[in-house]
């Protein structure tokens, strides 16, 4: 077809520190809240893929794969073991070496500043994201990164999936004594302020860099053409997408979301200067993590509020949907195939989402995550036949291409994940990588790297820039 991927498109791949590095207490690093709270039924964060010790071998595999850019995250407690104050030279050195290795191989580093791993000491000291004290500590962490790494890193992502931290409480620690909903909106406000500070600092310290959030988003479809369900789907977009993106892009709260918070007595505390700060920090680009779409229908006022229960065992049907009384409740899509973890496979939803965001914001977009988690098997002759992953990525890339034809300024695609790594909910049973890591939850084996079929497929896509 006549639609081509743009010149200098970032053919890339993604990882995150606590899921990939291991060495969770090495060379001065202290524990993060995810290190402590990870599901104890599966592998923990102590070794994961051992990237900390094998980064040179891993970058060589990236080079051979042909990726032009690599998205990784920087561990806050590795760089600042006390959350603030003295910089851990060995922590900074690790990232410097990694970045130099990437640059030496012509791979553009795309760095995420915060990917769920708050230093546990800050959680203990003042409750982490529930306190405005974190804004200064986060700003200090950003300053350290911009000072030591800003010369080499020109693409930054502030916070990964603020939207999901909000939806999936296992990524945050909440005070059990206080109402959960109230805490979520408060933390969301504080986190957005921290994100805005990071953008301000980046402008001052690394003026030639580009910076934005990485948001986990799904478009919401109505379950039926009942007008109540159509309205519910629009409001689900307001509560689960535009609440975050309007704050990032315009520094304002959606009226209907604000009204809901007022009616329920859960508005965040807004101090003088907050909204001005948010308005002054417009991102240069949006990072979008896309895995699936969602279906919703109207939920009556009398229903109880309910969080989503996610499937952690990989047995179909375990997911329980969210309920926001008077607004919407989640439902399942009978037209879509689902993964064993109940994630609904919908490549067209990605095109829909990209168009919705572009209509609203006209800003460059990069897909910071997209991929499929499943059980992979190593054959006796050392192969991994992950055709289901090739099928998934191929469909989604095709929709990216169509979205480019629609006029979306798509600048890159970072599948999740470059290599197998720890799934936060399901350990090493649920894999995402182009490269297999030879270990299980309980047996580290020798952690050898083995290229899957999808690795060779992606290599050819990057070489030809054709996605079939
Ligand atoms: C995103 C996270 C990633 C990654 C991915 C897959 O929400 O940003 O860190 O984990 O989802 O999720 P999971 O490993 O739970 O399947």
For residue range 378-437, what is the model confidence (pLDDT) as tens digits?
Answer: 999 999 999 999 999 999 999 999 999 999 999 999 999 999 999 998 999 999 999 999
| Closest by CA position to 218, among listed 246, 235, 241 | 241
Ligand 1 atom closest to 423 (CA): 14
Looking at residue 308, what is its pLDDT? 85
Nearest-CA residue for atom 12 of ligand 1: 423
Residue 61 CA, ligand 1 centroid: distance in Å: 22
Distance CA 223, CA 237 (A): 14
Nearest atom of ligand 1 to the alpha carbon of 116: 9
* pLDDT digits 0-9 by tens, 3-38: 999 989 999 999 999 999 999 999 999 999 999 998
- Please give the structure tokens belonging to residue 284: 């240069």
| Catalytic center residues | 161, 369
Mutation test residue for ligand 1: of 424, 430, 432, the one with most atoms within 8 Å of CB:
424
Indicate which atom in ligand 1 lies nearest the CA of residue 373.
16
How far is the C-alpha of 5 from the C-alpha of 129, rounded, in Å?
39
Q: Looking at residues 142-147, what average pLDDT do you find?
A: 98
Q: What is the DSSP secondary-structure string of 137-198?
A: HHHHHHHHHHHHHTTT--EEEEEE-HHHHHH-GGGS---TTS-HHHHHHHHHHHHHHHHHHH
Q: Could you report the per-residue pLDDT of 301-333, keeping only the tens digit for each?
A: 898 888 888 888 888 988 899 999 999 999 999
Domains of the chain: 10-217+287-292+342-464 (3.20.20.80)
| Cα-to-chain-centroid distance, residue 388 | 22
Predicted confidence (pLDDT) at residue 444 exceeds the cutoff of 70: yes
Lowest mean pLDDT among 56-70, 311-325, 451-465: 311-325
What would the mean pLDDT of 93-111 be, rounded to a whole number? 98
- How does the average pLDDT of the chain come out, rounded? 95
Centroid of ligand 1 to alpha carbon of 39 (angstroms) = 14
For ligand 1, atom 4, the nearest C-alpha belongs to 423
Q: Residue 306 has what pLDDT?
A: 87
Question: What would you report as the CA-atom Rg of the chain, rounded to the nearest whole angstrom?
Answer: 21
What distance in Å separates the CA atoms of residue 386 and residue 41, rounded to the nearest whole number? 25
More confident call, 65 vs 309: 65
Whole-number pLDDT of residue 169: 61
pLDDT surpassing 70 at residue 468: no
Structure ipTM: 0.98
- Whether 167 shows a pLDDT value over 80: the answer reads no
Query: How far is ligand 1, taken at its centre, from the CA of residue 320, in Å?
Result: 18
The pLDDT score that the predictor gives to residue 181 is: 86
Distance 294 CA to ligand 1 centre (A): 17
More confident residue, 417 or 167: 417
| Share above pLDDT 70 across residues of the chain, in percent, rounded to a whole number | 99
pLDDT interval class at 170 (50, 70, 90): low
pLDDT more than 90, % of the chain: 88
CA–CA distances in Å: residue 419 to residues 22, 107, 373, 428, 455: 14, 16, 12, 12, 10
Cβ–Cβ under 8 Å, residues 66 and 463 = yes
Residues with CB under 6 A from ligand 1: 16, 19, 160-161, 164, 216, 289, 369, 373, 416, 423-425, 430
Nearest to 358 by CA among 404, 327, 424, 307: 404
- Ligand 1 center to residue 15 CA distance, Å? 10
Q: Look-up: residue for tokens 């919705």?
A: 356
Q: What pLDDT is stored for residue 206 in this prediction?
A: 98
> What pLDDT does 177 receive?
83
Please, which pLDDT band fits residue 135 given cuts at 50, 70 and 90? very high
**E strands present in 271-396:** 286-289, 294-297, 323-324, 328-331, 365-369
pLDDT on residue 86: 97
Confidence band, pLDDT 50/70/90 cuts, at residue 465: confident
Pocket test for ligand 1, best of 416, 419, 425, 433 (most atoms within 8 A of CB): 416
184 Cα: distance to centroid of ligand 1 (angstroms): 20
338-367 tens-digit pLDDT: 999 999 999 999 999 999 999 999 999 999
Cα–Cα distance, 228 to 270 (Å, whole number):
32
Candidate of 288, 319, 423, 426 to mutate for ligand 1, largest count of ligand atoms within 8 Å of Cβ:
423
């Amino acid at each position: 077809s006549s639609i081509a991927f743009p010149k200098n498109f970032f053919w890339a791949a993604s990882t995150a520190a606590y899921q990939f590095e291991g060495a969770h207490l090495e060379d001065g690093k202290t524990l993060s809240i995810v290190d402590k709270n990870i599901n104890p039924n599966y592998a923990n964060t102590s070794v994961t893929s051992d990237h900390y010790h094998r980064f040179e071998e891993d970058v060589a595999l990236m080079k051979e794969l042909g990726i032009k850019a690599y998205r990784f995250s920087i561990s806050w407690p590795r760089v600042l073991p006390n959350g603030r104050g003295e910089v851990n030279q060995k922590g900074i050195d690790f990232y410097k070496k990694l970045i130099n290795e990437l640059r030496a191989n012509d791979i553009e580093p795309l760095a995420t500043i915060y990917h769920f791993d708050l230093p546990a000491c800050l959680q203990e000291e003042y409750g982490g994201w529930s306190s405005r004290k974190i804004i200064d500590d986060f700003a200090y962490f950003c300053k350290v990164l911009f000072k030591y790494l800003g010369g080499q890193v020109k693409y930054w992502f502030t916070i990964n999936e603020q939207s999901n931290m909000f939806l999936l409480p296992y990524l945050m620690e909440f005070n059990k004594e206080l109402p959960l909903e109230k805490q979520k909106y408060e933390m969301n406000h504080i986190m957005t302020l921290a994100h805005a500070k990071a953008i301000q600092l980046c402008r001052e310290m690394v003026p030639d860099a580009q910076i934005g959030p990485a948001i986990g988003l799904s478009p919401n479809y109505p379950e039926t053409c009942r007008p109540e369900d159509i309205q519910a789907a629009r409001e689900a977009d307001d509560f689960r997408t535009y609440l975050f993106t309007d704050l990032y892009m315009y520094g304002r709260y959606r009226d209907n979301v604000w009204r809901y918070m007022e009616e329920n007595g859960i508005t965040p505390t807004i101090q003088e200067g907050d909204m001005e700060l948010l308005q002054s920090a417009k991102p240069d680009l949006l990072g979008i993590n896309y895995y699936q779409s969602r279906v919703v229908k109207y939920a009556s006022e009398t229903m109880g509020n309910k969080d989503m229960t996610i499937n952690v065992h990989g047995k179909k049907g375990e997911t329980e949907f969210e309920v926001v009384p008077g607004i919407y409740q989640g439902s399942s899509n009978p037209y879509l195939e689902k993964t064993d973890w109940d994630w609904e496979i919908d490549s067209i939803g990605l095109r829909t989402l990209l168009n919705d965001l572009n209509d609203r914001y006209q800003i460059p977009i990069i897909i910071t995550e997209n991929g499929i988690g499943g059980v992979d098997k190593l054959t006796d002759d050392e192969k991994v036949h992950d055709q289901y992953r090739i099928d998934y990525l191929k469909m989604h890339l095709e929709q990216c291409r169509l979205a480019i034809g629609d006029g979306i300024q798509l600048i890159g695609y970072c599948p999740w994940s470059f290599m197998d790594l720890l799934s936060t909910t399901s350990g090493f049973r649920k894999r995402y990588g182009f490269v297999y890591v030879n270990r299980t939850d309980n047996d580290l084996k020798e952690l050898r790297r083995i290229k899957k079929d999808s690795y060779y497929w992606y290599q050819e896509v990057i070489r030809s820039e054709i996605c079939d």
